[in-house]
Amino acid sequence: MSIQRVQTIIIGAGQAGLSMGYHLAREGVPFLILDANQRVGDSWRKRWDSLKLFTPARFNGLDGMPWPGPEWREVTKDEMGDYLESYVQRFALPVETGVRVKGLSRDGSYYHIDAGDRQYEAEHVVVAMASYQEPKVPSFTREIRGDIVQMHSREYRNLEQLREGPVLLVGAGNSGAEIARETVKTHPTLLSGPPTGEVPFQIDGFAARHGLLQFVFRVVFHRVLSLSTPIGRKAHGGAQKGTPLIRVKSKDLKKAGIERLPRVVGVKDGLPLLQDGRVLEVANIIWCTGFEPGFTWIHLPVFDGPEPKHARGIVPGEPGLYFVGLHFLYAMSSTMIHGVGRDAEYIAKEIACRVRLRPGSRVPPVATGPRLVKDDDAQVA
């Protein structure tokens, strides 16, 4: 089987991978982006039908290409997928779709990427995938009665998947709250789990439009809550406790008639058991219980638990291996569309520096890729 050799390979063509490609192109570094989906943007299109992004349009553009149209309108998940596709076209980013990477290992001075019937070698590999790859559900789910419809939030699309009768959403974060507001329109809806807090203002309200949202996203999430500040390092240590509700508020859930319940801790007689001892008679369960990183295909000694060891995306002890898109890679904004570009630019400059220091390098000493428009237009920090 022939092996394709590329200087830098990016695994993943979501907003992190495309941002990475944009900045590598500006540095003049050759690269190739691989993605398992058949179409760029499908990672968004495959989510539940009614999903809209939490942030208004002005915060959803990647570096170099502001979001077109009115800046305060809501953006659907399909529109986000189409935007990513147009981003690839605008900057002629090299992407191969339908390529699922099954293994990443090192062979001498090159990384080997196993994608089944396609094999690649690269000096540099950027894993541009979020920490949210494999659905995480409790082990006791298999003890739930067979007549109860069960699914993870990643599998939920619309109300037609549900049986008649009550719906239990396990997990009171953003996904659970958003889906609950939809299911309560046709089904009695229960929301289980401790509150995760909430943003204390309406993200589409007057204050948000007149500077407050800009301050929260650009200053608090992007600069204050970063690994360069004491408060950011403390927030990073508690980052897995749950993200505050962004669009939905507790009062919205109460007004809609959604019943809040304690945590689900097990199963009794085939039914979900609550922390307070109650047993729930429900027809449907949607597990909004998060994700595992899903990096078992990386066969390199770079992990400390499920997450890779890294310093701002650069892996110590594995020169040439990088991560971008991880939860709190450098700041709270690292997994947000408006914040991923800073991490990508940082890593792109590191790769370019290493390539240029190599004897015989033909990579130009200055940026030659896509022109970056003004920061205030592109909304980059």
The pLDDT score that the predictor gives to residue 91 is 98
- 324-371 pLDDT, tens digit each: 999 899 999 999 999 999 999 999 999 999 998 877 666 665 444 454
Phi, psi of 196 (to 5 degrees): -105, 5
**Cα radius of gyration (the chain):** 22
Label residue 120 exposed, middle or buried (CB < 10 Å: 0-12, 13-18, 19+): buried
Give the integer Cα–Cα distance in Å for 274 and 261: 8
Q: Is the pLDDT of residue 33 over 70?
A: yes
Say if strands 189-192 and 259-261 run parallel, antiparallel, or are unpaired. parallel
The pLDDT score that the predictor gives to residue 294 is 87
The pLDDT score that the predictor gives to residue 16 is 97
User: Residue 139 contacts by C-beta under 8 Å, 6 or more apart in sequence?
Assistant: none
Give the integer Cα–Cα distance in Å for 70 and 72: 6
CATH 3.50.50.60, applies to 136-198+244-287: yes
Domain boundaries, the chain: 3-133+293-378, 136-198+244-287
Long-range contacts for 101-109 (Cβ within 8 Å, ≥24 apart)? 101/11, 101/34, 101/36, 101/297, 102/297, 103/297, 103/299, 104/11, 104/297, 104/298, 104/299, 104/300, 105/299, 105/300, 106/300, 106/318
Q: Is 273 helix (H, G, I), strand (E, B) or coil?
A: strand
* Amino acid in position 332: M
H/E run at residue 357: helix 340-357
The pLDDT score that the predictor gives to residue 360 is 67
Least confident of 17-21, 74-78, 154-158, 243-247: 243-247
Give the torsion sign (CA, 175, 176, 179, 182): negative
Tokens of 252: 């919205």
More confident residue, 230 or 379: 230
- Given pLDDT bands bounded at 50, 70 and 90, which one contains residue 8? very high
Report the mean per-residue pLDDT for the chain. 91
pTM: 0.91
**CATH no. of 3-133+293-378:** 3.50.50.60
The pLDDT score that the predictor gives to residue 357 is 84
More confident residue, 327 or 285: 285
- 46-64: average pLDDT: 95
* CATH topology identical between 3-133+293-378 and 136-198+244-287: yes
- Provide, rounded to the nearest whole percent, the portion of the chain with pLDDT above 90: 78
Say if strands 321-323 and 264-268 run parallel, antiparallel, or are unpaired. unpaired
**Under 8 Å between Cβ of 149 and 163:** yes
